[in-house]
Structure 1
């Protein structure tokens, strides 16, 4: 076989593999405030794909932080296609959710409807083996809530039952507990299609799907409560609500792509649309939704995007840290600072005393009387 044919086949295989490692990214604006460039929600994917690092950089910019210094010119161009150029008008709040088991973001757009979306940007995102980092410079200036964080150890059986009943009521359904234990009840939720989905907590896949929904809802409520508490302060922190939902993928692995999995997909989309509407209202539109859909291509159960805090110390602080290994140098620096502080204080004290002395002992001349604001006839 000709060498050129082999090279051509090799390049074709690489292209097919690269295309199979693509997911989808969806940016959503609220109807009340625009932070993204205006785009129609009915158009197909954009021509240029984005990398996960581009998505992470976009999230950092939306939160009000500077993008990483390693951002390439091509990535900056892609961010400019997504975000409005005004650096003083950022939401400082982002909901970032990675959904495994779903490939088409249009499902969420259709579920929300045009009246609930101010703007949307869709694109392909290239998935590789490495994860991307949302690099944030100030750990004290941001609040991070993880959606996939399970219920705390302080939530006992009664607390779990209450959370399940609240979830069922919020979705318009019901939860029937069992005397056999916490995870033996049945959750029944009506769907928009007219059918009803029944999830049995005694089944592993059903229980994992329900607990994923429960954790997501619990942490969404916690994020909104934290936002309400900090909204009255002079300087509110940026807020990142981030997580990974694997419930659909669990149903696919257990039941396949049909029936129960499709009902679970419909239930999840209904839940997610209600969450987005609640966040639009709680944040008064000043929050952007970022959703990644990886289908079943990304096999790891953990999130593809991490949060990484990087410090930016001042120049003087960097010099002190660099010279901290030399105790003699540190002592000399402290001695000089204390000496300058004492000398400055003594000079100010002497100047003040001299000024008071000369003011009280001025000779009574025309100039001094004028200086003292005495009225002369």
Structure 2
């Protein structure tokens, strides 16, 4: 997995003056995106954008200016939100090529501006929203795909991805490091999506209602490593691009079917090649930190005993207070009824007109 992150890590240290397109793709079932031309948004506001699109709590306060910017991107529908939100980060494919996956959907381009790495801005935004919404589910797809993977399961996953997604990787030498890591990346994303599809199907069979929007994080960086090795127009890269598109086409169609079309996509294409080659240890450390960051935001760990006791006391105090208030008002209502003066109401039992 180390070589897969080479372009992403280098991009994070490149000059950040240029903007990066972030494309929001609408649901097939409902319209959440405002139509219009591209708008600019600071990279630090990605968490607010994700929160506004999903209806989840933002990781930080949203000011009036930022709220106005978001209202120009997304339709104001606080009570109607998608059932799923997919943050898709792809290196090596252009926006036009990725647009073929969503040809029949309304979309809106947001130009990410400001300092910092765009891919890291997405990671930070998802982490912030996940931390602010403990009950919401953040699915780190590649991490989910390698859970409980033992022995030769990766070979089986690669074979399953090739068969189900109808990918042709015959021109790739999978014994080479870049090709091998590229195939493993596709296989883990395939496995993670398939596992989540099974969970959604089981929930549907058991008729269990979905409480919160489910957020997916999908990152595909292996194609960029192959471009660096063979060149943009090489046969190996052409085959790899076709494989990525086949995987994404399968994933989009499968997720659309699972959520009955009520799903939004946030697509971040990373096109620039790295300017410098970083060490493998640094790349491995970056990968480990970002996965840990996303998982830590999703599962923040157990609460200490003192905090748990304080929460329990607060809950009990609120319950006792509500009971006392209910008892007081019930007694007051009974007292009023018992002491009500029983006499004929002049409106109900008034005199006749002739009297």
What is the rounded CA distance, in whole Å, between the counterparts of 2:159 and 2:299 in structure 1?
Answer: 41
SS where residue 200 of structure 1 aligns? coil
Counterpart position of 1:285: 261
Q: How has the CA–CA distance of structure 1 residues 205 and 69 changed in structure 2, closer, same or farther, with 3 Å as cutoff?
A: closer
Q: Give how far 1:214 is off.
A: 0.6
Query: Equivalences for 1:68-217 in 2 at 5 Å?
Result: 68-102=59-93, 104-109=94-99, 111-112=100-101, 114=103, 117-126=104-113, 128-129=115-116, 131=121, 132-134=124-126, 135-136=128-129, 139-149=133-143, 151-152=145-146, 154-173=148-167, 188-189=168-169, 198-217=171-190
Shift of 1:288: 0.4
**Alignment match, 2:244:** 268
Q: Greater strand percent: which structure? A: 1
Distance 1:251 1:310, change over 3 A: closer
Aligned mates of 1:85, 1:280 — CA distance in 2: 23
CA distance in 2, matches of 1:93, 1:150: 17
Query: CA 1:208/1:309 → structure 2, altered by over 3 Å: closer, same or farther?
Result: closer
From 209, 213, 238, give the equivalent of 1:238.
Answer: 213
Q: Does 1:35 align with 2:32?
A: yes
Deviation at 1:50, TM superposition (A): 1.9
Compared with structure 1, are the counterparts of its residues 154 and 235 closer, same or farther at alpha carbon in structure 2 (3 Å cutoff)?
Answer: closer
Cα shift at 1:112: 2.4
Tell me if structure 1 keeps the 8 A contact 2:136–2:214.
yes
Between the aligned partners of 2:193 and 2:70, the Cα distance in structure 1 is 27
Instruction: Using structure 1 for the length normalisation, give the TM-score.
Output: 0.63
Alpha-carbon distance in 1 for matches of 2:200, 2:270: 29
Q: CA deviation at 1:158?
A: 4.2
Partners of 1:122 and 1:153 in 2: CA distance: 34
TM-score under structure 2 length normalisation: 0.67
The gaps in structure 1 that reach 5 residues or longer are 1-15, 40-44, 174-187, 190-196, 312-316, 325-329, 352-377
Contact 2:27-2:82 at 8 Å conserved across structures? no
Distance 1:165 1:254 in 2: 24
Question: Does the 8 Å CA contact 2:33/2:73 hold for their aligned counterparts?
Answer: yes
Deviation at 1:125, TM superposition (A): 1.6
Structure 2 unpaired stretches of 5+:
1-13, 276-282, 301-305, 332-355
How far residue 245 of structure 1 moved from its aligned partner, in angstroms, is 1.3
Q: What is the CA–CA distance in structure 2 between the aligned matches of 1:262 and 1:152, rounded to whole Å? A: 27
Larger radius of gyration: 1
Asked whether the equivalents of residues 23 and 127 of structure 1 are also in contact (C-alpha less than 8 Å), the reply is: no
Indicate conservation of the 8 Å contact 2:25/2:102, yes or no: no
- Which residue does 1:372 correspond to in 2? none
Q: Secondary structure at the match of 1:210?
A: helix
- Deviations along 1:15-41, one digit per CA (max 9) or x if unpaired, are x95543x222111123332222245xx
| Matched residues, number | 281
| 1:108–1:273 contact (8 Å) kept in structure 2 | no
SS for the counterpart of 1:31 is: coil
What's the secondary structure of 2:82's corresponding residue?
Answer: coil
- Aligned with 2:142: secondary structure? coil
| Equivalent residue, structure 2, for 1:252 | 227
Specify whether residues 298 and 228 from structure 1 end up closer, same or farther in structure 2 by C-alpha distance, changes over 3 A only.
farther
Superposition CA RMSD, Å: 3.9
What SS does the corresponding residue of 1:148 show, helix, strand or coil? helix
Please say if residues 36 and 120 of structure 1, whose CA atoms lie closer than 8 Å, have aligned partners that are also in contact: yes
Deviations 1:194-236 (A, max 9, x none): xxx5222211110111111111111111222222333422453
